Structure 1
């Protein structure tokens, strides 16, 4: 009888990508009898992986890469699964010297799309590309979507929110890693003014000032600025309790998908064509189509290279029209 496999998953890039990796973790654990699954990532991602019951042990890249490799070598893995496939993860794979499988990160196609606007991207979600890399192991997509596990201590109780937001609210993740991924303040105000439900604004401490301005300018609307008041797991708990979720292209968008929420996903300089739309949940893309300058970057940037920021400044908020157009695109 063959001994159980000891597997290492490499994924260090972002909160969103860690959440998008969860089907891989689950499918490996449940489909390979006795599999021991380790996960290697950055310390910032600890809230996501530490509570995942399908992960047996987590390794963190903090400081020396050489020290991390020595730590990983000592584990004597049977197989490495590289879901990032960049220079660092390739070094780790080579140093461990065991059987490995890597996702195709489509780097050249993405470069063509950003640099020359030549779209050769496949109509395939990144999660499906992740799982495609596992086919030699006999692992298949179970179609159960994304996972997110919130420890009991981070479950947000009803009375932690204002009375106006305890029964029925919309969560709006207003943050974003880069400026070109976020709506300008005046457009945030415009969008919030069109939402006829109590809104909880989510983001980190850097987003709190923006949230305060939105809260003040919208005025009579029931807006609760929760930016910077809750940690990642607590923000996820607020999303879990929301009716629907509005979000920029961020990790909270993927967390909303993990809870099967209806998502209004807002796209600026990046594009859903990179394959990172909300997975296995209902969603509506809010984006300015027909711009020859978009996408201008792979993950976003500090400012619009053209100076006009049309992708966000001219993004339409006509939800019914956009929903009809997206449904037509899906049929085509």
Structure 2
């Protein structure tokens, strides 16, 4: 399922607002966020809740209760033969998986301007789920959504699943269900290449941006965190690419977001750099599903467990993220124990 990314020149966001660039090497300076070393093993549904998993130094703590998902089935169904009455059989009868995705988040989910296909690390996960459902990786209808639309389209049943770099949080669990964690990101900030503080020093983090306009997508955890910094002026946009347009127009001074997302933005702008500093949040990504469809969450977790075990997770990481974020870490350890 691993796909090679075309090596096309970096494109300015003003040219890719509607049609995002194909993946390319990251421009500017970038430091990846290390994955915390997990100490919590997967637990069966009947086991007590595990202790919190550690987060990187200086980041928000992510508790294991928030990361708990539903354990995968003991035996996965045969592709094309989903259990009667299951949500997977509903998808099978329809003939396609409907997924909410980004089309302009380079490296994770963006439209290749040559092939016209949406591709990236998040999209690879959907191909694997389609393969497990239909024995065909391409029976997917991709619906492009903004960050703010992720929860609404799941709650109203417009999509079966959302694969759009969505952070697992306890508050979001009250509205939707999540798969097990499939990637650990962290929030950082991107500024203009060589930009200095008012005192002429190097920018080392958000604390050096007092009085500046900083952009993040509306409805994202990045925006929630941005609003906690005193002395900054938060500016919202529908997507991070929208933030990049504002950045290139000089209407904002910086952009904040997950390290994965900022890597894609820096790849599109040779005059931008991601500040070399530890991430100031932990952002565990999960695939979103409607709360009523816990059997589908279990199925998805079975697919993710297979990807971790057979090396496909690492191959997909190396295809999309290794150039920007460095050597593939170990996949996040799944935390189970949630009950319907």
The answer to whether the superposition gives a TM-score over 0.5 is no
Larger relative contact order (C-alpha < 8 A, sep ≥ 6)? Answer: 2
> What is the TM-score when the length of structure 1 is the normalising length?
0.30
> What is the TM-score when the length of structure 2 is the normalising length?
0.29
